[in-house]
Amino acid sequence: MKNLFILALSILILSCSEKQNQTSEESQVEKLKQKIAKFVPVEITYDENLLSDREKVVLEKLYQASKLIDTIFLDQVYSKNYEIKNELMKKTDEASKLQLELFNIMFGPFDRLEDDEPFIGTEKKPIGANFYPEDMTKEEFENRIKQNPKDEKLFTSEFTVIRKQNGKLVAIPYSEYYKEPLTKISNLLKEAAEYADNPSLKKYLLSRAEAFLSNDYYQSDMDWMDLKDHSIEVVIGPYEVYEDGLFNYKASFESFVTIKDPVESKKLEVFAKYLNDIEKNLPLDDKHKNYKRGSESPIVVANEVFTAGDTKAGVQTLAFNLPNDERVRQAKGSKKVMLKNVHEAKFEKLLKPISELVLEPELLKYVTFDAFFNHTLMHEMSHGVGPGFIKVNGRDTEVKKELKETYSTIEECKADILGMYNNIFMIEKGVYPKEMEKQVWVTFLAGAFRSMRFGIGEAHGGGNAIIYNYLLEKGAYIYNDKDQKVSVNFEKIYPALKELCNLILTIQAEGNYQGAKDLIAKYAVSSPSIETLRKKLESLPVDIKPVFEIEQKLK
């Protein structure tokens, strides 16, 4: 009898355990589906009729090279990414398939919308990604440089990986560390150059092919700035430093393959001539203003064909402003590339639904595509103005070197506030009609919630949280707790914004690392109204998931 009782009890425990496991698995599957649903699939198409037969070959080679960029960036994000992906690809259960789908969106097992919380396993993402040894401390890195000052340039270079050899930190050039994939990419660019009839595109492809092998990107960045009369607008290489949360030193690999829209690009040429006026008008002490950056500043409107690496991870890029090398910016300025088809998708799928949930109803008429597009344009232009090379205690340095890990958040905040400030300046100059002013203020406010949904810990989301919380504190934004809606005080918004512009620009000009840390600690937070409004938006997708037409064509 006793044995029968024990057997029955064992069966009951086993049954309960199986039910718990089943419930746990169902819960995991549901959570993964919810995370994936935050990215609404959008087909990214392109008009290949705009290209000659030879240009179509160039496009195909660039697509193949970009696929390899994906493989490098996957390694840059996390040392175990390939191990995790290979394991997921072997499994056939529903949870593993969903994990793989989300892994591919995020380029790793960490949720970029939830401050990099793991959705596979429990290990936290290393703050320095895979650019540094995971057990390396900031102090260890800084002490290594203090003890060997001659190595500082190599160790802080955007294009080196830090590793430990025989217990000692060493800096390895990207060209050496990623030699195999970079050699393949270099060869593909050379092959593409053979079919490029446009001399400036051919020159860029060849010089960038060499840069991947030499680890010196300066000349190819200069050549990219000189592209003209071209149909294919492409940039490929290591650029943004967001992934390096330790110092914001190390550049991630990315690629944009686009087709230029000649008609829309022509319309925007007027803005380039205002760069000096924009610099002069900055709310910053004249001694800090930067008139030494180049003034070419071409602006291109293009339609995206394919992207890879850093720009494809998680949230999709609306536009880009490159190169980031201050030497190139000083000589030639920077190029702004606006991705029109991505703008259109985000406006319809994201911004309009967000506006209806967070804004007071009377403001909805001021949310327009033109204001959305123009803010991105001026955001990118604003990256190219203000402090770059600076002096700190008589020492020549750069803003990004002094602000360290705070740089990306402060720089994105700067570009967004100057995006508004400079668009108002364009209204004063008669470039935009006066009636666009309220559209500038309201469309940005709706857009701020689009960006903050990326995560406050992410550079763009954190920058927008600073703006929202600061302007709310100054009474420029008004939150109605009763109906959970927000509005703009059109009388207070401009002076409050101007004050914030001065604060951010001065922090950059002085290389004030502590000031940047304090500002982020105070304002880059999920304040009560942000938290309430973000919860209201949980039923909406956070961003688009591009489904590239070219991938279907070239499978």
DSSP for 429-469? TTSS-GGGHHHHHHHHHHHHHHHHTT-TTSHHHHHHHHHHH
| Cβ–Cβ under 8 Å, residues 459 and 240 | no
- For the record, the structure tokens of 144 come out as 């290594």
- Residues constituting the chain: 555
User: In three state form, how does the secondary structure of 468-531 look?
Assistant: HHHHHHCCCEEEECCCCEEEECCCCHHHHHHHHHHHHHHHHHHCCHHHHHHHHHHHCCCCHHHH
What are residue 476's phi and psi, to 5 degrees?
Answer: -80, -30
Helix/strand/coil percent split, the chain, to 5: 60, 15, 25
From first to last of the 555 residues of the chain, give the pLDDT tens digit: 556 656 665 665 666 555 556 566 778 899 999 999 999 999 999 998 999 999 999 999 999 999 999 999 999 999 999 999 999 999 999 999 999 999 999 999 999 999 899 999 999 999 999 999 999 999 999 999 999 999 999 999 999 999 999 999 999 999 999 999 999 999 999 999 999 999 999 999 999 999 999 999 999 999 999 999 999 999 999 999 999 999 999 999 999 999 999 888 887 778 878 888 999 999 999 988 888 765 567 889 999 999 999 999 999 999 898 999 989 988 998 898 999 999 999 999 999 999 999 999 999 999 999 999 999 989 988 988 999 889 999 899 999 999 999 999 999 999 999 999 999 999 999 999 999 999 999 999 999 999 998 889 889 999 999 999 999 999 999 999 999 999 999 999 999 999 999 999 999 999 999 999 999 999 999 999 999 999 999 999 999 999 999 999 887
Position 372 scores a pLDDT of: 95
Position 17 scores a pLDDT of: 55
Position 236 scores a pLDDT of: 98
Position 454 scores a pLDDT of: 81
- For the record, the structure tokens of 262 come out as 């000649």
User: In three state form, how does the secondary structure of 97-122 look?
Assistant: HHHHHHHHHHCCCEECCCCCEECCCC
Integer Cα distance of 317 and 256 in angstroms: 10
Query: DSSP secondary-structure letter at 393?
Result: T
Position 266 scores a pLDDT of: 82
Whole-Å CA distances, 112 to 27, 91, 408, 459, 526: 21, 24, 16, 11, 16
- For the record, the structure tokens of 84 come out as 């995790």
* Coil vs helix vs strand at 143: helix
Position 296 scores a pLDDT of: 63
In terms of Cα–Cα distance, which of 444, 333, 451, 432 is closest to 386?
333
